[in-house]
Amino acid sequence: MNCYFLPILVFTHWCVPSNEIVGTTPERKRTWGSLCQLERALRSAAPCTIIIRRNIHMIFDSISEVFDALLSNFGPRGFKKPKDIAGQVVLVTGAGNGIGRLIATKIATTGCILVLWDIDEKGNEETKRMCDDLGAETHIYRVDMSDRQAIYSTASRVTSDVGVVNIVVNNAGILRDGGDFLKKSDDTIDATIRVNMMAHIWMAKAFLPNMIEQNDGHIVCVCSMSGIVGAKDIVDYSASKFGAFGFQEALENEMCHRKRNIHFTTICPSYIQTTMCDRIPLSSSTNFLSPNHVAEEIVHAILTNKRIVLLPKKTYFLYAAKGLIPRRTFQRLLLFVQK
């Protein structure tokens, strides 16, 4: 800080004679007053410089992280080396069919120990057989994801039977029907909220404590673009996904604030070519995502610790534009990205 006041000292001692500094004439008072004002200005600027200097590492780290995220999301697939999860326990909910089964079979080749949850016992057994054929150690449990106590009790069984779960993939979700929100029953709405949102909260309460104790873990939320952009005809489903997305983000922020080494990944695909989307009245021009492609992106995101993955990639621009452009313009953009 002394460097800021050196010019003042030089000016005072060499440019202004000492016999002129002390005096009562208006000129002498103005001279000394100007020096005092300059000194006060420099003193007030010094803390700002110190703040910038202290935060320079944070600034450079942030810039580096932004470029890393851009390259990770839009660069070549092999940009980031996947982590080794051999021997780790990976739990996948909704593994009895669809995206859950594809996630399980794709991650089965990593050498991890698989724990598969689903209410559909027959479908879950088939997924287990497929994973066993790929050489994975697989454990299956029948769980109703709308039942809080069932989640808690089964989580305790898993910890006792298999060990601490390292990666939780919250994939289970339901969409009973599409159409007019006001025509949907309260039971349908309640079930949708419980499975698609509340189950994520209950899963975190069940498995996060062990992750915190080990200071290591990974929670994955298979969400939806309708959890970022409100979707007509599936209002209850969209609301449940908004809740899941918000919970995941808030929990990540809390763990980050507490300096916990817990990773969070949120996947938001657009419409996928599955039986679930058959229940939604969509335009014939709607472009559906391949379930296999979505599952590959989910597994890749897990292995590279990605934070948020939007599918298809052009929906990143939709996400960025949401709060910046007028509603009607946004609606037109929404129709465009769905094609």
- List active site positions: 237
**What ranges in the chain are assigned the alpha helix state H?**
2-10, 18-21, 26-54, 56-74, 98-107, 121-133, 148-161, 186-193, 199-214, 235-257, 291-303, 315-321, 327-337
Structure-token pair, residue 99: 């995206």
> Phi-psi category of 222—alpha, beta or left, where left has phi over 0 and alpha has psi -120 to 50?
beta
Three-state SS across 124-147? Answer: HHHHHHHHHHCCCEEEEEECCCCC
Parallel, antiparallel or unpaired: strands 167-170 and 113-118:
unpaired
Which residue's entry shows tokens 């580096």?
Answer: 64
**Residues 44/49/51/53 CA torsion (nearest 10 deg):** -160
Q: DSSP string of 261-299?
A: -EEEEEEEE--BSSGGGGGS---TT--PBPHHHHHHHHH
The closest alpha carbon to 150, from 188, 96, 203, belongs to 203
- Contact 87/110 with Cβ under 8 angstroms? no
Q: Which residues 6+ apart lie within 8 Å of 278 measured at CB?
A: none
Rounded Cα–Cα distance for residues 87 and 96 (Å): 22
Within a 10 A sphere around the Cβ of 124, how many other Cβ atoms?
25
Q: 148: exposed, middle or buried (C-beta count within 10 Å: 0-12, 13-18, 19+)? A: middle
Phi, psi of 320, rounded to the nearest 5 degrees: -70, -35
